A and B are shown apart, each in its own frame.
Chain A
Amino acid sequence: MEKTTQPIITVNNLVKKYGDFTAVNDVSFSVNEGEVFGLLGPNGAGKTTTLEIIETLRESTSGTVSVDGIDVSKDPQDVKRRIGIQLQSSGFYPGLNLVELMEMFALMYGVKIDPLKMLAEFQLTEKAKSTYDKMSGGQKQRFSLATTLINQPRVIFLDEPTTGLDPQARVNLWQVIQEIKKKGVTVVITTHYMDEAEQLCDRLAIMDHGKIISQGSPAELIDALLKGGFKRHTEVRAATLEDVFLSLTGRSIRE
């Protein structure tokens, strides 16, 4: 599927300081069009801050960021129209059902959509008339994902989309993200789950203490580690405990 390796996001020497604390320290990377790019790292590594600067939700201290050819600091409104965002554990306007929420987002982007068709793509048809707070964790994340696509964005940003989901819902969400990728939408994702990063990401960057300490494809990063003489403590088995769980309880989502 890799038709092009042109970058759609370019981050150069990005710095974000809060007083004396440097949350993002001279970070540079680029995301290619059509790929799934992972930003990994422990809590407090600066992932979310980096994402939010690219998403125009925060201003940088120094450095440049461009998204789809637009300088984020020069025309944030234009960038907003080109991207879709899923925040970590964000809610939705209370008292409205899913169809109304979709239409409300369409309104805020100035676009026309078919809410029922979009909800169907995310297996949410029977939830069309319920409110956000009456859904399961997996449904909430799928809906949140659906709202990122309302303005037919060029890039979507997903901040820990599978945190707190059961294995079935997680596997289901991976499939959904892969479907989105197939449509040509670039995906930038943060996660704490390495299996998730390995499954989903074409390339990834690992951040710690505000710096990017390594980047490349999952295979490249693993090869580099092995070249250094790394050996696993435990014997590698042909299956994981997650495989056991999913083969016992099935892969169909429970809601």
Chain B
Amino acid sequence: MTNNANDNRFSTAPSQLLIAWGLTKYALKATLRNRSSLIFSLIFPLIFVAIFGSIGNAAQTITFGVDSSVSDNNAIYQTLQSVANQVDSPVKIVHGSEADLLTDQLNQSKLGGILEPGDSPTSLQLVTSTANPQGGAAASTFLNGIISQLNLKAAGVVKPTFSFTTKDIAGKEYRYIDFALPGQIGFSLISIATFGIAFPLITLRKTLVLKRIFATAAKPITFVVSQCLARSVQAMLQATVILGVGIWAFHFTLANGWITAVEMIALSFLAVLAFLGFGILIGNIARDEQTLPIAINLFNLPQILLAGVFFPIDSMPHWVQLIGNNLPLAYFTTALRKVANEGASLVTVWPYILGMVAWGVVAYILAARIFKSE
């Protein structure tokens, strides 16, 4: 008969969970196939990591200019030379015969100080410049350390009464890359979470793909969840690549080794899920592809500038800090730095995770309210 309301073929609804899982796989497949967009979304964070990685290394060295009249037999100079000859040494030595040339370099802050012969064969004179007080201070401190050791040795003291070890400090040196890399992961995540979902959403809506999908047994929420999951996995892969390049090429410091790396990736996954709420929201506010980049930049740029991506939030005026510290991205970059640099666990950074989740919940609720399928 015609009334087929009890027709077995149609009576059971398919599991939305299974549909979401399957759709996630198809979305990932389509994403990973699009090589050019994958490379495009990685290229800027990687370039920035490369630049900041190099800055970090340069700032770490102390360069001494050594006048050619300094005797090779001078004990202080010999010790300095042996330190400079070590692999990855923080000390560099530049030799110069013409004093003027060295002085020029000193005034250009290329040198921390110049060593000239002292009053006796066992002393040296350190010339520093007011143009480079930090460099001068670093050179002077370093030289002091060498001289103390030499003095103790000369006095025959094998076990000095007062001593300290610098082992721990050397193990956790904080370089600019350690600050910059978590910021770049944040930069990459917020880009995927906005550009990576809002553009496809508008295209899918315009080409009626959304409408066609919602005409099947798949519910809109199921489809949206699958798209968010696919983007989150993509973001996790990108964070892993950035972290990998940072560790391999620029010796990014992981406070607790590979556990820190795993925690950083997990935190990235959570963050991108939260940020995606904004991507979907923006994709529904913007009417077309022309207005979308403006809307996305209105959301992204303040965060990239104020939320500690390139510059520390602490270095900003108080009222800017108040805004900056509470942006969604700031919760992430701060938490990520605590995990990466200080060795905090995901549990101890819970206030920041809560902040991210709260922003995310607000975004998803607003997005659900204005969600358009066509």
Contacts and interface: CB of A to CB of B under 8 A. Distances in A.
The number of chain A residues touching the other chain, given as a range, is 35 or more
B4 interface: yes
A80 B30 CA distance: 26
Interface in B191-242: 200, 203-204, 207-209, 211-218
A219 interface: no
Nearest to B37: A95
B2 A69 contact: yes
A87 interface: yes
B204 A93 contact: yes
Contact of A108 (B1, B5, B19): B19
B30 A93 contact: yes
A94 to B, nearest CB: 6
Contact of A85 (B13, B22, B215): B215
A95 B217 contact: no
B315 interface: no
A7 interface: yes
Given A82-B10, A92-B212, A100-B26, A110 B207 contact: no
A96 B29 contact: yes
Contacts of B318: none
Contact of B212 (A82, A90, A151): A90
Could you say which of B12, B214, B218 has the most chain A C-beta atoms within 10 Å of its C-beta? B218
A174 interface: no
Contact of A70 (B5, B19, B200, B203): B5
A89 interface: yes
B161 interface: no
Given A70-B5, A95-B30, A95-B31, A81 B217 contact: yes
A144 to B, nearest CB: 9
Contacts of B29: 95-96, 100
B19 A91 contact: no
A4 B23 CA distance: 39
The B interface is mostly helix, strand or loop, or mixed, namely helix
B217 A80 contact: yes
A109 B215 contact: no
B148 interface: no
Interface in B1-42: 1-5, 7, 9-15, 18-19, 22-23, 26, 29-31, 33-34
B19 A110 contact: yes
A152 interface: yes
Contact of B5 (A68, A93, A107): A68
Nearest to A95: B30
Contacts of A69: 2-5
Contacts of A105: 216
A8 B2 contact: yes
A94 B30 contact: yes
A194 interface: no
A226 interface: no
21 contacts: A7-B2, A8-B2, A57-B211, A70-B5, A80-B215, A80-B216, A80-B217, A81-B217, A82-B4, A87-B211, A88-B208, A91-B209, A91-B212, A96-B30, A100-B26, A104-B26, A107-B23, A107-B26, A108-B216, A110-B14, A110-B18
Interface of B: 1-5, 7, 9-15, 18-19, 22-23, 26, 29-31, 33-34, 200, 203-204, 207-209, 211-218
